[in-house]
Structure 1
Amino acid sequence: MSKTKTKGVKLDDTTHKRLEELARIRDRSPHWLMCRAIETYLDREEKYEEEKREDMDRWERYQLTGIAVTHEKAAEWLENLAEGKVTACPR
């Protein structure tokens, strides 16, 4: 079982009422909803940060080498995918 820690969250009256109402409708506790909301947010933001890091790595690699996939190759690959023809990503 993982260890848990308590964090306090201050909510304005409107947000608090919305949380209570959704918890009632979903037959869940406000705590459960807040935990799921935080997990969802963290998953999304961590993925965004990872993609941003990958983009920066690609940009730096391009600046160092000048090597890039041409628009024509990328467009052809995407057209093939749209037609259901799965081919290796152009490099």
Structure 2
Amino acid sequence: MTSPTSLNLDDELKGRVQQLAEARRRSSHWIMREAIAQYVEREEKREALRQETLVAWNEFEATGLHVTGAEVEKWLSTWGIDDELSAPECHKSRLAAGHFASVQR
């Protein structure tokens, strides 16, 4: 189901939308709906990544388990070759996880 929504656009942006619509042989309405849909999809993905990052950070703070960027890069550099390495194992940080929390915030 759809319902009407109104937007106030300044004349310059409205003109740009109309020019793009003409160039693409679409309606201004279609251009605006497509732009909003793409924006919302992109921002939903960003928010999901942000939430996953917070969960991972909280897990790290609680356990101290991690792999370093260098360990991951070494592992990834072997993908697709005969001597492909196994994924690196998580290990405890030399610094207490609580120290990272105080540094990051």
Q: For 1:6-85, list aligned pairs within 5 A.
A: 6-81=4-79, 84-85=80-81
**RMSD of the TM alignment (CA)?**
1.8
TM-score normalised according to structure 2 size? 0.74
Which structure carries more relative contact order (alpha carbon 8 Å, separation 6+)? Answer: 2
- Per residue, is there more helix in 1 or in 2? 1
4+ runs deviating over 2 angstroms? 70-73, 84-91
Structure number, greater radius of gyration: 2
Q: How many residues align?
A: 87
Percent sequence identity over matched residues? 36
TM-score normalised according to structure 1 size? 0.85
Q: Give the aligned residue type for 1:29.
A: S
5+ residue gaps in structure 2?
90-105
Separation of aligned partners in 2, 1:22 and 1:46: 25
